[in-house]
Amino acid sequence: MASAQIVIIGAGCFGISTAYHLLKRGFQDITIIERSNDFPAKDASSNDINRIVRTSYSDPFYAKLAKEAIQSWKEDVDIWGDSYHESGVLVLGASNEAYLNDIQQGSRLKVYGHSPSESSIIHESFSPNAIVSLSSDTAGYINYDGGWVDAGKATFLLTQKVKSLGAKLILGKRASRLMRKEGHTEAVECHDGTVIQASLLIIAAGPWSPSIFPELNYQHNSLATGQGIAMIQLSQEEASKYRDVPVVLNFSTGFYCFPPTEKDVVKIAIHAPGFTHTIDNVSIPRTVITHPEDGLLIPRNYAQRLRVEVAAVYPELAKKAFSSTRLCWYNDSPDSDWIIGRHPTDSSIMFATGGSGHAFKFFPVIGRIVADAIQGTLDPSLARKFAFNREITHVDHSRDGTGMLREELDVNQLYGPEDAI
């Protein structure tokens, strides 16, 4: 098996992590093809200034796996450098199951608002100079074993490691056709006619996965959704007031925001149902690469909601203009579990996708699960949980509390930082 010709489509979270864990297990012939000419791709969700790293899951599997990922973020500095920042994560409106799982994982916690004596001390989580407007009776807890990671930097660093271990990264190649014999994939053809042989093809193309090979009927398993984010540029003086604050994540509204980056930028977003961009009955990402003129713009109503939500946490920052915006594209599965497993009628195709907006925090370890699936050693319960053709027994409604519905993207209602709202 270690001598297999493995081709991975997509150099993002799933693809690069999978390559790394396969290389550690002795696999040698690994080629990663990436549609973008630049790396990391400027429109990839794995190339972002920050992503939340947390253990607050009602599912014990994810809570435990997040703890393992955090251990790597903190300890494997030879890989990650300074990309991880343990600011703590202030969790508001979380389920009791998530709270209890954090406790069971041995996390360092401080609880607010779960008893009258705790209801007025939530501001202790913030630096004294930060202007915070959370009400004194807000309930939640801060988990100090978490924070945020510079996703673009982390992706670049692990890719450098993967290349040093012998993997080949080919940029500017868009997979366009499967070359099959008797129902078995033997190679993939790219848009420019390049043919790359593969005894195992791993589809790890994130939100592009449902649309690249329609014949696989993958478009019924997940959905590409665009999530609006905005950045606020602070001065050095302003940033110093908010430097030592936690990530704020409100499960009740979906809103989340980060401490300033080293370039004094605050990112804000809402974990919402998102926007679709449908072409030929399949949602396909609309980005700065496909639409250079307006591919970074977000819907106006979403920008307005962002302004309201940030005011409820940091009223001073809500008065500032957005310095930039972007639609970050997810690949959502109905139950928000990942899709890791072989195609039911073509065992030469493996899926590693369906991140559903919560995969990147697991970047150090998610490839281990894919590698186990490839080698047939994945725990049977996990194999069923992540199977391509699993029965969907529940639908994830965690984003419904935002009061926002999934909408088709209206390109006539886009907002840019230069526009007034």
Q: What is the pTM of this model?
A: 0.95
Exposed/middle/buried for residue 62 (C-beta within 10 Å: 0-12, 13-18, 19+): buried
Reported as half-sphere exposure (CB side, CA atoms, 13 A), residue 215 has a value of 10
- State mean pLDDT over 152-158: 98
Contact 19, 32 (CB under 8 A): yes
pLDDT (tens digit per residue) in 246-271: 999 999 899 999 999 999 999 999 99
- State mean pLDDT over 172-185: 94
Q: What is the mean pLDDT of the chain?
A: 93
pLDDT-based confidence at 119, cuts 50/70/90? Answer: very low
- Taking 80 as the threshold, does the pLDDT of residue 135 lie above it? no
Rounded Cα distance between 383 and 377, Å, is: 9
Give the model's pLDDT for residue 115. 54
pLDDT (tens digit per residue) in 47-92: 999 999 999 999 999 999 999 999 999 999 999 999 999 999 999 9
- Taking 80 as the threshold, does the pLDDT of residue 113 lie above it? no
Q: What percent of the chain has pLDDT over 90?
A: 81
Eight-state DSSP code of residue 122:
G
Give the model's pLDDT for residue 118. 53
Sheet order of strands, 30-34 included: 168-171, 30-34, 6-9, 200-203, 346-353, 339-343
pLDDT-based confidence at 2, cuts 50/70/90? Answer: low
Amino acid at 313: V
Pairing mode, strands 140-143 and 109-112:
antiparallel
Q: Give CB contacts under 8 A, 24+ apart, made by 388-393.
A: 388/218, 388/221, 388/339, 388/341, 388/342, 388/343, 388/344, 388/351, 389/221, 389/344, 390/337, 392/334, 392/335, 393/335
Rounded Cα distance between 186 and 209, Å, is: 19
Class of domain 1-50+150-222+334-390: alpha beta
Q: Assess whether the previous peptide bond of 364 is cis (omega < 30° from 0).
A: no
Give the model's pLDDT for residue 418. 78
- Taking 80 as the threshold, does the pLDDT of residue 120 lie above it? no
The full set of domain ranges for the chain reads 1-50+150-222+334-390
Give the model's pLDDT for residue 240. 97
Give the model's pLDDT for residue 116. 45
Rounded Cα distance between 330 and 332, Å, is: 6
pLDDT (tens digit per residue) in 210-222: 999 988 888 788 9
